[in-house]
Amino acid sequence: MPNQLEIFPWDENFETGIDEIDAQHRNLVRLLNVLVGHLAFQSGAPEIDKVFEELKAYTAYHFQAEERIWHDYFLNDPWEEWHRKAHGDFISKVQELRAQEAEKGLDATLEEIVSFLTHWLAMHIIESDKRMAKVVHALPSGVSLEQAKEMANQEMSGATRVLIGTVMGMYDKLASRTIQMTREIARRISAEQELRQAQIDLVRLRDEAIAANVAKSAFLANMSHEIRTPMNAIVGLTHLLRRKSNPPDQADKLDKIAGAAEHLLGVINDILDISKIEADKLALEKRPVDLYALLTRSAGMVVDQAQAKHLELIIDAKPDLGIVMGDETRIGQALINYLGNAVKFTERGTIILRASVLGGDADRVTVRFDVEDTGIGIPKEQQARLFNAFEQAESSTARQYGGTGLGLAINRRLAALMGGEVGVESAPGRGSLFWMTACFPRSRNFAPSYETPALQGVRALVVDDNPVTLLIHTQLLQRLGMEADSRGCGRTALDALARADAAGQPYGLVALDLTMPVMDGFETLARIRQLPLRRQPEVVLVTASGDPAIIEDAHTAGFADVLIKPVSIAGLHTCLRSHLSVLAKGTGPVPAAPAPAADGDDVLERLQRRHPAARVLLVEDNLINQEVVSILLEEIGWQADVVDNGEQACQRVAAQAYDLILMDMQMPVMDGLAATRAIRKLPNGDGVPIVAMTANAFSEDREKCLAAGMNDFVAKPVRPETLFEIMLKWLDQARA
């Protein structure tokens, strides 16, 4: 057989006389010779996993069959245990060889397998299996087990074992030299053939390279003009038409044309850039670059897309990151490539742009840029080819999300031109972190300082349910010289404000996130203004949305200003400078003494008095939660109808009207979102208040509930006061 070296031929000396056992031994010899043939001829390399699968199958069947046969005759004799231990040693050795393959490589591992199997076949089959087979063959003659063992020992004397060991030592040397000699002959023949072909290819490739370089230079000289000229007309004319007053359908079409044109222009830019890099035509500039300002501008390029998907965009870097000498356009391009992908592949959550100094000296500095998202993630096996041109994680990615796969390839080349590297850390469902390093000469320019003496010592409170945003915004205020604290929700912020005021250390500023569970920014502001504080703080709304309606509503509600995420140190500094006259005093306007509430009693009493017989439907599949909420409602004097899935809720609402529905989100049969949408289509369900009551307490869950048609959101564990307040609010509105 070609490329087959039968270095271990099977003959009758290895036969035990037991057909089932001998057949399995022959399979092992066949595998051994296949491996030896590969090592000798370096061809037809077996996959290492298949080798170990065969060994696994061998041990699973052969050991079981052999031990069953021996047990039938030896009946737990010490020989049987001795033989079983040898099988265990075989399995342990195979596992050891499997574990070292990654370190030693395929051929080295195969050589060890060959050596191990050779000795196993010689020593175990002849010295062990044949000895036990002789006992099996002797027993039918009427001798006892001990007599049969003695007979087998006499035939398989110690001299036999010594002879086997001696022969195996000689065999090892002969086999090793035979394999090496055969391998060397095969390599020389192959090398001569490759050399002849390489000489032919070299001449051809030289001629092709000369022609390709000439063609590529001419191509690049014409490509920019030929493509950008018509694109400029498309983008420019579309922009002019969009400035006019157009009917809604035409305005929508123009928006789509503009979006498609911008996308096409981005693809064209990527193609031109990768072509320039490949042709070695791309030269980097060296000018002073304020890295923190560049981060802010880069984030600003994708902030609209992020806001459209309700994603939170965060800049995590020190404002005094420094000034370096570099190509601002190309650094920004790399960051925007990463950020654009993060927005594209993230449906909900957060995107963080980071920058940090890894090291350097008086002349140069190495900076690492990270873009981390909470998107779909990338399998490990697909990450290695992400930075290759025209490649994406998988073909379905291009179909679903679009793109050419050039952006990451460009980033890899740009990083190399800047003396750095690129990489990715990701897992499916856990998001991705793309990073890039670059080495820059230091600039003699100094980064601007944002410390403001008038803000020194002014106390500030940051309120945000996202812990990353909370930390970053707190640090930004501290950079401005303020004494900044933080809280994760509106309720704890109210407690902090009250305590600080009582202690004579009031907060002068509150930076309040818009979207938070339980109480959003608007409701929290209203509660702050109801607090009997001696001095009211300036309250700034922080939001990921640039919607003009939200900004207008914020000013109407009484917010001093609005900051759009990602919040930069420059933007924050500009905002606070306009309020220095108030903040410098550490106080806001002194409110008049609060008027006594129209209802001096608590919310429970108001519910009992205003709505003594409200009809409530509780939709909840958890029995304990059903019981807890039912008890809370009984405190008011209400008897709720209880169902455990959305389908039953729809049936109840179709049959009778309710004043209020408390709706869980995750339930069998039909979840809360689907049930709400269905209820809103029923005659009795159009105007009934529906309050989500769920353990999904994140802002995106709240948004899902509101989008489905719910009126409000209560996070579990449910606080009675919060639940009562929300129920009172919506019952009052429904009655009005």
User: Which domains are seen in the chain, by residue range?
Assistant: 12-156 (1.20.120.50), 287-441 (3.30.565.10), 453-583 (3.40.50.2300), 603-735 (3.40.50.2300)
What would the pLDDT profile of 478-509 be if each residue is shown by its tens digit?
888 889 999 999 999 999 999 999 999 999 99
What pLDDT, on the 0 to 100 scale, is given for residue 239? 56
Determine phi and psi for 611, rounding to 5 degrees: -135, 65
Q: How far apart are the first and last CA of the chain?
A: 94
Beta pairing, strands 660-663 & 641-643: unpaired
What would the pLDDT profile of 299-349 be if each residue is shown by its tens digit?
877 887 888 888 888 888 877 778 899 988 889 889 988 998 899 899 999
> Is 715 in contact with 736 (CB distance < 8 Å)?
no
Residue with more model confidence, 575 or 37: 575
b/e for 140-152, b at 16 or more Cβ within 10 A?
Answer: eeeeeeeebbebb
> Is 689 in contact with 661 (CB distance < 8 Å)?
yes
Q: Choose among 358, 359, 355: nearest CA to 295.
A: 355
Instruction: Give the CA diameter of the chain.
Output: 115
Beta pairing, strands 616-619 & 641-643: parallel
For residues 439 and 357, give the distance between their C-alpha atoms in angstroms, rounded to a whole number: 10
* Alpha helices for 558-612 (secondary structure H): 569-577, 580-583, 603-610
Structure tokens at 667: 């339930």
For residues 42 and 708, give the distance between their C-alpha atoms in angstroms, rounded to a whole number: 64
Structure tokens at 275: 């072509």
Secondary structure tally for the chain: helices H, strands E: 27, 17
What pLDDT, on the 0 to 100 scale, is given for residue 735? 80
Q: Choose among 488, 494, 559: nearest CA to 531.
A: 494
What sign has the CA pseudo-torsion 283, 287, 289, 294? negative
What pLDDT, on the 0 to 100 scale, is given for residue 220? 54
User: Where is average pLDDT lowest: 78-87, 169-178, 515-524, 690-699?
Assistant: 169-178
> Is 641 in contact with 665 (CB distance < 8 Å)?
no
- Does 175 score more than 60 pLDDT? no
The pTM (predicted TM-score) of the whole model is: 0.44
Conformation bin of residue 346: beta by default, left when phi > 0, alpha when psi is -120 to 50:
beta
For residues 301 and 295, give the distance between their C-alpha atoms in angstroms, rounded to a whole number: 10
- Does 679 score more than 50 pLDDT? yes
Q: Which residues pair with 422 in a beta bridge?
A: 436
For residues 720 and 728, give the distance between their C-alpha atoms in angstroms, rounded to a whole number: 12
| Strands of 155-286, DSSP E | none
What pLDDT, on the 0 to 100 scale, is given for residue 87? 82
For residues 281 and 464, give the distance between their C-alpha atoms in angstroms, rounded to a whole number: 48
Q: Choose among 705, 716, 640, 695: nearest CA to 675.
A: 705
- Does 600 score more than 50 pLDDT? no
- Does 460 score more than 70 pLDDT? yes
For residues 470 and 485, give the distance between their C-alpha atoms in angstroms, rounded to a whole number: 9
Spell out the residues 6+ positions from residue 413 whose beta carbon is closer than 8 angstroms to its own.
Answer: 274, 277, 282
Q: Helix 78-99 to helix 130-138 angle, to the nearest 10 degrees?
A: 150
SS3 content of the chain, % helix, strand, coil (to 5): 60, 15, 30
- Does 471 score more than 60 pLDDT? yes
Beta pairing, strands 509-513 & 483-487: unpaired
For residues 118 and 124, give the distance between their C-alpha atoms in angstroms, rounded to a whole number: 10
Q: Choose among 337, 340, 343: nearest CA to 312.
A: 343
Structure tokens at 367: 């900076």
Residue with more model confidence, 394 or 205: 205
b/e for 552-570, b at 16 or more Cβ within 10 A?
Answer: eebeeeebbbbbbbbbbbe
> Is 317 in contact with 299 (CB distance < 8 Å)?
no
Inter-CA distances, 283 with 239, 273, 334, 487, Å: 32, 11, 15, 48
> Is 562 in contact with 511 (CB distance < 8 Å)?
no
For residues 375 and 351, give the distance between their C-alpha atoms in angstroms, rounded to a whole number: 9
- Does 673 score more than 90 pLDDT? yes
> Is 424 in contact with 409 (CB distance < 8 Å)?
no
For residues 290 and 297, give the distance between their C-alpha atoms in angstroms, rounded to a whole number: 11
